[in-house]
Amino acid sequence: MLQTKTGTSNIKLEPLAGKALTASEAEAIRDIVHRHRDKPGALLAILEEVQQKTEGIYLAKEAIWSIASELGESPSRVYSVATFYSNFNLKALGKHIITVCRGTACHTRGSQALLQEALSIMGITDYADDEESVFTSNNGLFTVRSIACFGQCALAPVLSIDGKIFSRMTSQSLSSLIQSISKGKKK
Ligand code: FES
């Protein structure tokens, strides 16, 4: 299900700085656009498929320009749709996704400390406590993001790693999980 963000309507798409898609990337986008273009909800379907087929599961600026060009739309319009829905990522995600619940039940049971622990292990200290923020470690191994509620409040604080739920987490247990994953051990 698509989820919307708020406060993103004023974001402007910066001009491209000399980057270009490879011929095969451009061809893949052309194919996706042509398969969806005359269907209802075409733009969302196109953005979803392009994102899913991109390494790092995101929409590069170059891809947005290419989609706009194929559709005959303005890049700003395509970009504004991509920024409106939280399902779309505008930066490449890490190999492992840590999602920390920031709902009320988890917050009162220490989710803020979990988020800080995850970010500090990755060397990220200058973050804003914003539910829409997404942080990726410099080595591309982890992305940390938050969610409003997993619907498992009785098990708070809750987080997920690559879709697997971990309940009643502590900073220590999160730290050892991250270390295990970093060393290539199974969770
Ligand atoms: S508030 Fe965290 S699971 Fe509901």
From 99, 152, 160, 165, mutation site for ligand 1 pocket: most ligand atoms within 8 A of C-beta: 152
- Secondary structure class of 96 (helix, strand, coil): strand
97-107 tens-digit pLDDT = 999 999 999 99
137-146 tens-digit pLDDT = 888 899 998 8
**Nearest protein CA to atom 1 of ligand 1, as residue:** 103
Atom of ligand 1 nearest to the CA of 105: 1
For the chain, the C-alpha Rg in angstroms (whole number) is 18
pTM for this predicted structure = 0.72
Atom of ligand 1 nearest to the CA of 106: 2
Nearby residues of 39 by Cβ (< 8 Å), 6 or more positions away: 45
What's the CA-to-centroid distance between 159 and ligand 1, angstroms? Answer: 9
What's the CA-to-centroid distance between 174 and ligand 1, angstroms? Answer: 17
Give yes or no for a contact between 169 and 123, defined as CB atoms under 8 angstroms apart. Answer: no
The CB of 101 under 6 Å from ligand 1? The reply is yes
Q: Does the pLDDT value for residue 15 go beyond 60?
A: no
pLDDT at 42: 95
User: d(Cα 59, Cα 29) in Å, to the nearest integer?
Assistant: 11
Going from N- to C-terminal start, the domains of the chain cover 23-84, 96-182
The CB of 102 under 6 Å from ligand 1? The reply is no
Model confidence band, residue 8 (pLDDT cutoffs 50, 70, 90): very low
pLDDT at 139: 85
Q: Which amino acid is at 60?
A: A
What's the CA-to-centroid distance between 156 and ligand 1, angstroms? Answer: 6
Q: Is 152 exposed, middle or buried (0-12, 13-18, 19+ CB in 10 A)?
A: middle
pLDDT at 184: 80
pLDDT at 132: 59
User: d(Cα 179, Cα 7) in Å, to the nearest integer?
Assistant: 36
The CB of 158 under 6 Å from ligand 1? The reply is yes
Tell which CATH architecture fits domain 96-182: 3-Layer(aba) Sandwich (3.40)
109-136 tens-digit pLDDT = 999 999 888 888 888 776 666 655 788 8
User: d(Cα 115, Cα 149) in Å, to the nearest integer?
Assistant: 14
Strands 134-136 and 142-147: antiparallel
